[in-house]
Amino acid sequence: MHSEKKMTNLRDTWRSDDLKRHIQGGGYDEDAARRRDRARRDEEAKAHRSGASVERRHRERDGSAQERRSHGDRDRDGEGDGNRERRTHRDLEKDRDGAGGERAGSRDVRSHRDRDRDRERDRRKDSTRDRVADGDERERERRKERERDRTADARQRDTGKEGRDRGQERTGNENRDRERRRAERDGERDAERHRRRAEGMGGGERDRDRRRERGGERDRDRDREREHERRKDRDPYADRARGHNAKHLKEGDEVGDTRDRRSKREHRRQKENEEYREQRRREKEERDRRRTAREEREGGDREAGRERRRRERKKEEEEEEEQCVEEEAPPTTAKTKRRSWDPSALEKEKKDAEVGKVTSEDQGQEEDAEEEEEYEDDFEDYEEDFEDDEEAGSGGDGGGAAREEVEAIRRAMEAENERIGSALLSPQGLEEGDAPDPAVSRHRPAPKGKFIDFVAAKHREVSKKVAIKQKKRSSDLLRLIDLDFSVTFSLLDMPPLSEYDMYIKSFGTTNTKQAYVQCNEDNMEREIQTEEVETSEKWTQHPADRGAVCGGASLALESLDESVTSVNFDSQRLAAFLLSASQVVSVLLEEDRAERLSLGKPRTQEDGLSFSDGGLHLNPGVPFLRGREVALIVFSQVQRQTVLSVHRPLAGPSAVRLDSNTILCVWNIWEPSQPQKILVYESEVLCCCFSPGRATLVFAGTAVGSLVLWDLRERSDLHCNIRIGDHDWTLRYPTFSTDSVLASSSHLSSVTSLEPIPTSAVEARRAGLPLLSSKEESSGLSFQLASLDEKGVLNLWVVVELPQADQAGSQNDLGLKPGGKVKLLLSSSIITLERLSPGDSTDVGPVHSLLLKFLPSDSNHFFIATSTGLVAHGTRHGPRRPPRFYKPRAAGPTPSRVTSLDFSPFGEPLFLVGCDDSTVRLHSVATEFPIMEWSCRGPVLSGHWSLTRPTVFCVLDSAPTLHLWDLSQKDLEPTAVESLRSDSVTAMAVFGDPSKQNTFSGISLARSSGKIEIHYFNTKWTSSAPDELEKLESLLYGAH
C-alpha cells in the first residue's frame, strides 16, 4: 500500500502547501496579484504561441489545482482564488522541473493531450467562426452532441473506475481518521481564505483591469463591458448554482437567465440552461441523497453538528480517489482527454486563455452538453482572453459570435464545476453504500481519475516532507525554548502640551523658554535708623544754692558726681573767697558798729582817759569767757591788729565743761564783736606768742612745762564744734603738744616765757632784703622758738611744717594731732641759771627766770629777767659779753621780781625794766646800770614802749595807774599819769602801726572782770616829731 501512503502524504503536502499559501496570502496585495497575473498571462500567451508543451504544463497544473479547488471549495464563491493556487503550483513545479520519472510520463500524456487540444482548438476556432457565420442553431446542436458524448464517457469512466476507487478508498479510510484532523484545520483555513478572497476580489475588478490592459480596441472594450455586466449578473447565479440548495439555485438561475436573455439575446442558451438545470437538479438530488445516506451510516460515531467537517473529509476522500486514479490509471487518451478537460473546465483557468480555449473546445466536442453549459459562464473570460490574443495575432474576428460562444463555454464550465463538486462528494457514499445507485454511479465517475498530476504529487510530497520536518522541528524546539511575554515596553510617552506651552510655541520667541522665578521683589521693607533723642530735665541757679549749681530729677549718676565735684571745687574757691571777703565784710560791719558805739560810750570813757582818742571793748558777751581773768594780751608783731588773749580757767569747780580749760582767743581789733579763733588747752597757759611772720601759728607755754602749738590755718571741721546759745563755736585743740612725748627733753618746770628767735633785722638789712621779704621769709615757718622755764632752762625749738597732713595721724610724732601739719623739734637746750645766780645773792632764795627777750638787732643775745630784780644777759653761742647783769642803782640784790622787760622797737639798744618794787629802769645794753630810774605808785605790772614814738613809753602799775612818759618832754617824771578807776587791770598791751600811712597806736587793757578795753592814743601820743630819736639819744647819752 505504498501508493496509498503516498497519497495521504500527497494530501498532507497539499494541505501544508495550502497552509503556506494561506500565510502568504494574508500579506498579498491585490494589485500585485493582478500584476503578476497579467505578467503570467502575457508569458503564457507567448508560450502558447511558441509551443504547446508549456501550455499543457499549465493545463496540467491548473487541472490539479482546479481539482483541488473543486473539492475543497464547494461553497466558496470567489472566482479569482484559483490564480493564486495555480501560480504557487506553477512556481513549485518550475522548481521541480526535470526531476522525477513520473513527470516524463505525464509529459507524454500531456503531449497527447496537447495535440488533442490543439486540434480541438482549431476546430473550435472554426466552429466559432462558423457560429458567427451560420448562427446559433448549429452551435447548439453541436454542443448538445458534445454533451451527450461527454455524459456517456463519464458514465463509462465512472463505472470503470468504480471498483478500483472503492478498493482504494477502503484502504485509504484507515489513514482518513488520522488525516481528518489536519484536514479539518486546513479546511477551515481554506474556507476562511476563500471568503476573504471573495470579498477582496470581484470579477468586475479583474475585468476592469483586463480592460485597461487591452485598452487599444474600443469596440472590444465595449463588448467586454457588456459581457462583464452580464457576468456580474450571472455571478450570483453561479454562486447559487454551486450551492447545495436546489430551490435556491433554481430561482437564481431563473433570474440570471432572464437577465442573460435580455442582455444578450441568447435564446439558445435558455434551452441549454433548462437542460443544465434539469441535470443539475438531478445531480443535486443525488448528492443530497448520498450525503444523507452516508450520514445515516456514519452518524453513529460522528457528531451530527459537524456537517462541514464531514464534507471536508469527503473532499479529502475524493481527492484520494482521484490521486489513486492518477497514479494507477494508465495514461489512456480518453482519460487524458477527460483529465485535460477537467482542469480546463475549472473556473480558475478562466484567465488562462489557451487552456480555457482548449477546454472549451474539448468540452464542445467530447463532454456532455449540460456540463459544458454549466461551465460556460466561467469560461467566458478565458475565451475573451483567448480571443484577444488571437485577434492580436490574426486580426479581425467577429466579436458578437465569439462572445456568445464564450458565454456558452463558460456556462458549460460552470456546470462542469458544479458537477465535479457534487461528484466529489459522492464516492464516500458509494464506497460505503456498497450497492450504489445506478444514477449516482453514472454521475460519480465524471471527476474521478481525471487528475493525475505527477509534478503536483511530487511537489506535494516534498512540501509534505518539509511540513513534517518543520512540525517536528517546532515541536522539538518548543520543548527547548520558552516563549514568554516580554515586559510591556513603553515606546513613546509624550504628554499633551498645555495650552500655555502651545501658545509659547507658536507665539513665543524662538529658542527661548519662559520661567518664573520668585525673587521676593514685592517683599520690601523700609527702615530708618535714627538716634534716640535723650532728654533730661535740669535746672540751674546762679548763684548756687547750697553748693549745687544745677540739677534735675532725672540726672544721671555721673552728672551727679560731676556736679558734686564741681560743687566741691566751687566750695573750695568759695570758701577761700568767703574767707577773705567775710573778713572784709565783718570788719566793715564791726567798724560800723564800733562807730556807732564810739559815738556814745567810748566818748564817755575818753573823757576819763586823757590820752585816749577813743576805744572799744572786745566782746564781753562771749559766754564761756565770762568771769575769766585775762592773763595775757599779746599782739602780733606783724599783723598789728591781731591780738591774742589768754583767759585763765575759772577757779572754782564748774559744771561747764570748758571752765577748767584755758581759753585763748584770737581777736581782730577791727572786729571786736567776737574772737576769730578760740583755742583751748587743758592746763594753765603762762605765756604765749605768735609766729614771727604772719599770725598763723600760736605757741603757748604751759604751767606743766609743755609747749603747745596751734595752727590757725586748720579748717574748722577738724575741730570740735559746740553750740552755745545761738552761736556755733569752734574750739581748737593744740595741733602739736610736747606733753609727755618729748618729756625727757622737754621742760621739767612750768614754762615762763616763749619767744621766737627773730631773724635779726640787722641780718636782714645786711642781706639787703626788703622788710617785706624778710617777713615773708619769717612767715615761711622756718624759724626757731626759744622757751624758758622757771629753772632757767632755755630750749630752742625748730618749727617744722610737714608737707602733707595725715588725717590718720602720725605714728612717729605722737604729739601731732591727726590732720596737723606743724610740729616742734628740739634743737638745743641752754642752762642759764648758774649764770643767773651769782654767788653773792645767796640770801635771795631760789632765783627764777621770768622773762626772756632777744636783742632785736642781734638774736644771739638774750636777756632773762629774774626774780631778783636783775636782768641777766647771755648769748646762745660765742663769748659772753659784758655786762653779765643789769642791776638797779640801789646796791645789793633786792627781792624784787622783774615783771616786764621790753626793748625799744626802733632799734635803739635800750630796754625798759619794770619791777614789782614799783621802780622802772631804763637800761642801755652796754651799761650795767640803768640810765634812768623812776618809781611808780605801785608794783609795775607791765611797761611797754610805744610803737609809733621812740621816746614814749607807758607803764601800768597795779594801782591801777597808767603812766605815760614822753622823754622828749620831761624825763624825770611821767608826762601824764592816768588813774584807771573801776576795775583793776590785770594785763596791758600796746599796739600800734608805725607805718606812715595810717598811724595808729593804743593800749589794750584787760580788766579783772574779763573785759578787754582797747584805747587809741590821741595824736599827741601817736604822731612823732622827726627829731625825736636824736633827742632820745642826746638825752640818753647826754645824761651820762
Partner 1 sequence: MEGSNAVGNTYVIRPNYQHKFKAAVVKECIRNVLQGALSGRQYEPQEVPFLSRSLADSIKEKVKETGLDRYKLVVQVVIGEQRGEGVKMAARCFWDADTDSYAQDVYMNVSCSDDCTQIAANGGRVITAFDEH
The site for partner 1 (CB under 8 A) is made up of 465-466, 469, 472-473, 476-477, 480-497, 501-502, 505-506, 510
**Closest by CA position to 733, among listed 805, 799, 815:** 815
Phi, psi of 976 (to 5 degrees): -140, 140
Cβ proximity to partner 1: between 505 and 657 the closer is 505
Q: Which is nearer to partner 1, 99 or 497 (CB)?
A: 497
Nearest distance from C-beta of residue 92 to partner 1, angstroms: 14
Looking at the Cβ atoms of 491 and 891, the one nearer to partner 1 is 491
Closest approach of partner 1 to the CB of residue 465, in Å:
6
C-alpha cell at 751: 614754762
CB 613 within 8 A of CB 1019: yes
Nearer to partner 1, 472 or 713 (CB): 472
Q: How far is the CB of 458 from partner 1 (least distance, A)?
A: 15
Q: Please, what is the minimum distance in Å from the beta carbon of residue 489 to partner 1?
A: 5
Pick between residue 94 and residue 970 the one whose CB is nearest to partner 1.
94
- Phi, psi (deg, nearest 5) at residue 298: -90, -10
Which H or E run contains 543?
A: strand 539-545
Strands 976-979, 985-993: pairing kind:
unpaired
Complex with partner 1: residue 490 or 523, whichever CB lies closer? 490
Q: Looking at beta carbons only, is 13 or 737 nearer to partner 1? A: 13
Give the integer Cα–Cα distance in Å for 120 and 366: 10
Q: Before 930, cis peptide (omega within 30)?
A: no
For partner 1, the closer of residues 485 and 744 by Cβ is 485
Q: How far is the CB of 521 from partner 1 (least distance, A)?
A: 33
What distance in Å separates the CA atoms of residue 52 and residue 56, rounded to the nearest whole number?
Answer: 6
Rg of the chain in Å (alpha carbons): 94
CB of 132 to partner 1, least distance (A): 49
- Phi, then psi, of 335 in degrees rounded to 5: -65, -40
Closest CB 487 distance from partner 1, rounded Å: 8
User: 55: closest CA among 122, 126, 117?
Assistant: 117
CB of 471 to partner 1, least distance (A): 11
| Closest distance of CB 20 from partner 1, Å | 13
Give the integer Cα–Cα distance in Å for 597 and 546.
35
Q: Minimal distance in Å, beta carbon 476 to partner 1?
A: 6
Query: Cβ closer to partner 1: 468 or 597?
Result: 468
Least gap, CB of 467 to partner 1 (angstroms): 11
- In which element (H, E) is residue 187 found? helix 136-200
Provide the minimum distance between the beta carbon of 28 and partner 1 in the complex, in angstroms, as a whole number: 16
Q: Give, in order, the Cα–Cα distances in Å from 998 to each of 227, 820, 953, 992, 1019.
A: 186, 37, 20, 10, 12
Selection from 474, 416, 479 nearest residue 447 by Cα? 416
At residue 97, the 3 state secondary structure works out as: coil
> Three cell numbers at 626?
565770762
| Amino acid making up residue 844 | V
State in angstroms the smallest separation of the CB of 14 from partner 1.
Answer: 18
Minimal distance in Å, beta carbon 389 to partner 1? 36
In the complex with partner 1, the residue whose CB is nearer, 489 or 812, is 489
The CA-atom distances, in angstroms, between 48 and each of 161, 348, 797 are 33, 18, 184
Residue 481 or 517 with smaller CB distance to partner 1: 481
Contact 240, 252 (CB under 8 A): yes
Instruction: Tell me the closest approach of the beta carbon of residue 8 to partner 1, in angstroms.
Output: 19
Does residue 945 contact residue 904 with C-beta atoms inside 8 Å?
yes
Residue 657 DSSP label: G
**H helix or E strand, kind and range, residue 67:** helix 52-72
Query: Residue 415: which H helix or E strand, with range?
Result: helix 399-433
Instruction: Let me know: does 189 contact 22? Beta carbons within 8 Å.
Output: yes
Q: Which is nearer to partner 1, 485 or 516 (CB)?
A: 485
| 475 versus 518: smaller Cβ distance to partner 1 | 475
Upstream peptide bond of 543 is cis (omega within 30 degrees of 0): yes
Q: Find, among 700, 753, 691, 702, the residue nearest to 897 by Cα.
A: 753
Comparing CA positions, the residue from 932, 874, 923 lying closest to residue 903 is 923
Q: Where are the alpha helices (DSSP H) in 757-869?
A: 761-766, 771-778, 833-836
Report strand pairing: 677-681 vs 727-732.
parallel
Whole-angstrom Cα distance, residue 687 to residue 632?
7
Cβ distance to partner 1 smaller for residue 479 or 723: 479
With both helix axes pointing from N to C terminus, report the angle between 307-328 and 2-27 in degrees, rounded to the nearest 10.
Answer: 120
Give min distance, CB of 342 to partner 1, in A: 33
Angle at 640 between CA 636 and CA 642, to 5 degrees: 65
Residue 278: its H or E element: helix 267-298
